[in-house]
Amino acid sequence: MSDISVYTIPEARPFKPLEVFDDYSKRRELQKTATKLLESDSFETAVKLPAGVSLNDWLALHCFEFYNQVSILWGTFAPCTHEDCPKMRAGSAFEYTWEGSSQQSTSAPDYVDRMMTWIKDQLEDTSTFPRTIGKSDFVVFLRQHAFFNNLSWFFGEQQTESEYPEQFQKIVKIIFLRLFRAYAHLYLEHVSIVIEEDGFPYLIYSLKHFFNFVIEFKLIQKADMKPLGSVFNSF
């Protein structure tokens, strides 16, 4: 998996397909890897904070990771249009409105565009997501795990202890809540297309990884995960 450039922030709009999916062989390889990881049933252990790694560094790394996973999923398997998805729904019981100066109903493509742009702005803000890490053990961890090789550039060279803002974990929770909404819309509104495109193993792999991570670190309240409650309960 280390030779697949999946975990790279796209230069284009976040919900557009990433370059890796232009190569069918790499796409199939990714799906095989995802299926194998899913069958290994190791996410519950894999998401736990490694020894010697600071919590904020671990959260920051996974903000980037899941941002990119959603970018891939949305850009590849969610052919939303303003006409087909005039509202950002997750099934018939849940509708999401954009939290701006005034809450307003918006189409799913517009909502995800705004959401991913907002998240990308946070990730690129070095005052919120510093580009250094303070634990040498974390550097070793990244280098030993091919799964994260393509993200290690984000942290740059090891320097002093990373200085995260006081509100960092609050921002992380908002990021994960908004990413959840993209997952929920994709699964509940477009899962048939995902299945037709042979992407279901990757979607389930990503959801299982996401679910275990947010539960481990209590990033989303259970009430906010109700749209995918039956799916998560199957994990």
80 is in an annotated binding site: yes
DSSP class per residue in 90-105: SSSS-EE-B-SSS-B-
The answer to whether residue 155 scores a pLDDT higher than 80 is: no
pLDDT in tens, 178-221: 999 999 999 999 999 899 888 898 899 899 999 999 999 999 99
pLDDT in tens, 109-146: 999 999 999 999 998 888 998 866 554 444 445 555 54
The answer to whether residue 17 scores a pLDDT higher than 70 is: no
pLDDT score of 41: 54
The answer to whether residue 77 scores a pLDDT higher than 50 is: yes
Domain membership of residue 178 (yes or no) is no
The answer to whether residue 57 scores a pLDDT higher than 90 is: no
Q: Which residue, 150, 217, 167, 186, is CA-closest to 76? A: 186
The CATH number covering residue 225 comes to 1.20.140.30
The C-alpha atoms of residue 126 and residue 22 are separated, in whole angstroms, by 31
Range of the structural domain that residue 148 is part of = 19-78+115-172+193-233
Lowest mean pLDDT across 89-93, 127-131, 149-153, 179-183 = 149-153
Lowest mean pLDDT across 2-6, 8-12, 36-40, 63-67 = 2-6
Domain membership of residue 199 (yes or no) is yes
The C-alpha atoms of residue 70 and residue 120 are separated, in whole angstroms, by 12
pLDDT score of 162: 59
Percent of the chain clearing pLDDT 90 (strictly above) = 36
Domain membership of residue 101 (yes or no) is no
What average pLDDT is seen over the chain? 75
Residue 98 bridge partners (DSSP): 104
The C-alpha atoms of residue 42 and residue 20 are separated, in whole angstroms, by 25
pLDDT score of 39: 55
pLDDT score of 42: 74
pLDDT score of 145: 52
Query: Roughly what angle, to the nearest 10 degrees, separates helices 200-216 and 168-196?
Result: 160
Type of residue found at 106: T
Please state the domain count of the chain. Answer: 1
Domain membership of residue 50 (yes or no) is yes
Domain membership of residue 161 (yes or no) is yes
Average pLDDT over residues 91-99: 89
Domain membership of residue 165 (yes or no) is yes
Rounded to two decimals, the pTM is: 0.74
Residue 96 bridge partners (DSSP): 88
The answer to whether residue 160 scores a pLDDT higher than 60 is: no
The C-alpha atoms of residue 202 and residue 21 are separated, in whole angstroms, by 13
Alpha carbon separation from 15 to 77, 134, 172, 204, 233 (Å, rounded): 10, 32, 19, 19, 28
pLDDT score of 124: 85
pLDDT score of 51: 76
Domain membership of residue 13 (yes or no) is no
The answer to whether residue 100 scores a pLDDT higher than 70 is: no
The answer to whether residue 69 scores a pLDDT higher than 50 is: yes
Helix (H, G, I), strand (E, B) or coil at 88: strand
190 is in an annotated binding site: yes
Domain membership of residue 95 (yes or no) is no
pLDDT score of 47: 84
